[in-house]
Structure 1
Amino acid sequence: MEPKQYFLTKNLSRNPGNYDSAINGASHSTDHESHKIDGVSPKERKIMKRLQELEKINAGLEKTIEQRKDEIAEIIASNKKYISILAHDLKSPFSSIYGVLGLLKDCIHENNLDEMEEYIDIASSSAINTTNLIENIMAWATSQKKDNGFNPVRINLANLVNQEIENSKLAVKLKKLSIVHSIDPDFNVSADLQMTKTILRNLINNAIKFISPNGNIIIRATEVGSLIEISVMDNGIGISPEDQIGLFDVDSTEIIPENSFKRRKGLGLLLCWEFVNIHGGNIRVESQPGKGSSFIFTLPKHD
Structure 2
Amino acid sequence: MTLKRLGAAAVGLTLAVGFLTIVFTATHYATDWFFTALGITPQPIVQQLAASILGLIVIVLMAGAMMLVNRGRLETMQLRLLGPIVEALGKIAQGDYTVRLNHPELRGRGVEPVGILVNSVNTLAQELDQMEAMRQEFISNVSHEIQSPLTSIRGFARALHAENLTATERAHYLNIIETESVRLSKLTENLLALASLDSESYTPDPKPYRLDLQVRDVVLACEPQWQEKQIEMDVATEPTTLTADKDLLNQVWINLVHNAIKFTPPQGKIQIELHHVASDVEFCITDNGIGISEADQTRIFERFYKADPSRERARGGSGLGLAICKKIVDLHHGTIQVTSKVGHGSTFAVRLPVETK
Q: How far did 1:189 drift?
A: 1.8
Alignment correspondent of 1:294: 347
Which whole-Å CA distance do the structure 2 matches of 1:214 and 1:98 have between them? 37
Which whole-Å CA distance do the structure 2 matches of 1:234 and 1:298 have between them? 18
Which whole-Å CA distance do the structure 2 matches of 1:124 and 1:276 have between them? 32
Alignment correspondent of 1:54: none
AA at the equivalent of 1:191: A
Residues 222, 79 of structure 1: alpha-carbon distance in 2 compared, 3 angstrom cutoff: same
Q: How far did 1:90 drift?
A: 3.9
Q: Which runs of 5+ in 2 are unaligned?
A: 1-133
Which whole-Å CA distance do the structure 1 matches of 2:307 and 2:342 have between them? 20
Are the counterparts in 1 of residues 289 and 345 from structure 2 also a CA contact under 8 Å? yes
Which whole-Å CA distance do the structure 2 matches of 1:259 and 1:86 have between them? 18
Which whole-Å CA distance do the structure 2 matches of 1:87 and 1:124 have between them? 20
Please, what is the CA RMSD of the aligned residues?
4.0
Residues 95, 202 of structure 1: alpha-carbon distance in 2 compared, 3 angstrom cutoff: farther
Alignment correspondent of 2:195: 141
The structure with the largest helix share of the pair is 2
Are the counterparts in 1 of residues 274 and 284 from structure 2 also a CA contact under 8 Å? yes
Which whole-Å CA distance do the structure 2 matches of 1:294 and 1:126 have between them? 29
Are the counterparts in 2 of residues 154 and 191 from structure 1 also a CA contact under 8 Å? yes
Which whole-Å CA distance do the structure 2 matches of 1:223 and 1:206 have between them? 24
Alignment correspondent of 1:201: 254
Are the counterparts in 1 of residues 292 and 307 from structure 2 also a CA contact under 8 Å? no
Residues 261, 147 of structure 1: alpha-carbon distance in 2 compared, 3 angstrom cutoff: closer
SS in 2 for 1:258: helix
Residue 190 in structure 1 maps to residue 235 in structure 2: no
AA at the equivalent of 2:196: T
Residue 165 in structure 1 maps to residue 211 in structure 2: no
Matches within 5 A, 1:9-28: none
Instruction: For residues 181-213 of structure 1, give each alpha carbon's deviation from its aligned partner in whole angstroms, at most 9, with x where no partner exists.
Output: 524351122221232022112212222332333
AA at the equivalent of 1:301: V
Q: How far did 1:289 drift?
A: 0.7
Are the counterparts in 2 of residues 85 and 266 from structure 1 also a CA contact under 8 Å? no
Alignment correspondent of 2:268: 215
SS in 2 for 1:280: coil
Q: How far did 1:149 drift?
A: 2.9
Q: How far did 1:89 drift?
A: 3.8
Residue 86 in structure 1 maps to residue 142 in structure 2: yes
AA at the equivalent of 2:194: W
Which whole-Å CA distance do the structure 1 matches of 2:276 and 2:296 have between them? 29
Matches within 5 A, 1:275-286: 275-286=328-339
Instruction: For residues 6-29 of structure 1, give each alpha carbon's deviation from its aligned partner in whole angstroms, at most 9, with x where no partner exists.
Output: xxxxxxxxxxxxxxxxxxxxxxxx
Alignment correspondent of 1:258: 310
Which whole-Å CA distance do the structure 1 matches of 2:354 and 2:171 have between them? 49
SS in 2 for 1:182: strand
Are the counterparts in 1 of residues 296 and 307 from structure 2 also a CA contact under 8 Å? no
Are the counterparts in 2 of residues 182 and 220 from structure 1 also a CA contact under 8 Å? yes
AA at the equivalent of 2:233: V
Alignment correspondent of 2:320: 267
- Partner of residue 208 from structure 2, selected from 138, 143, 154: 154
Are the counterparts in 1 of residues 306 and 312 from structure 2 also a CA contact under 8 Å? no
Which whole-Å CA distance do the structure 1 matches of 2:247 and 2:135 have between them? 23
Are the counterparts in 2 of residues 97 and 126 from structure 1 also a CA contact under 8 Å? yes
AA at the equivalent of 1:219: I
In terms of Rg, which structure is larger? 2
Whose relative contact order is higher, 1 or 2, with alpha carbons under 8 Å and at least 6 apart?
A: 1
AA at the equivalent of 2:290: I
Are the counterparts in 2 of residues 97 and 123 from structure 1 also a CA contact under 8 Å? yes
Residues 299, 122 of structure 1: alpha-carbon distance in 2 compared, 3 angstrom cutoff: farther
With the length of structure 1 as denominator, give the TM-score of the two structures: 0.58
With the length of structure 2 as denominator, give the TM-score of the two structures: 0.50
Q: Which runs of 5+ in 1 are unaligned?
A: 1-77
Instruction: For residues 150-184 of structure 1, give each alpha carbon's deviation from its aligned partner in whole angstroms, at most 9, with x where no partner exists.
Output: 111113122222332344345446x5243635243
Residue 239 in structure 1 maps to residue 292 in structure 2: yes
Are the counterparts in 1 of residues 305 and 319 from structure 2 also a CA contact under 8 Å? yes
AA at the equivalent of 2:195: A
Are the counterparts in 2 of residues 256 and 262 from structure 1 also a CA contact under 8 Å? no
My pick for the range that moved more, 144-153 or 119-128, is 119-128
Are the counterparts in 2 of residues 211 and 236 from structure 1 also a CA contact under 8 Å? yes
Are the counterparts in 2 of residues 188 and 302 from structure 1 also a CA contact under 8 Å? no
Which whole-Å CA distance do the structure 2 matches of 1:121 and 1:169 have between them? 23
Q: How far did 1:111 drift?
A: 5.2
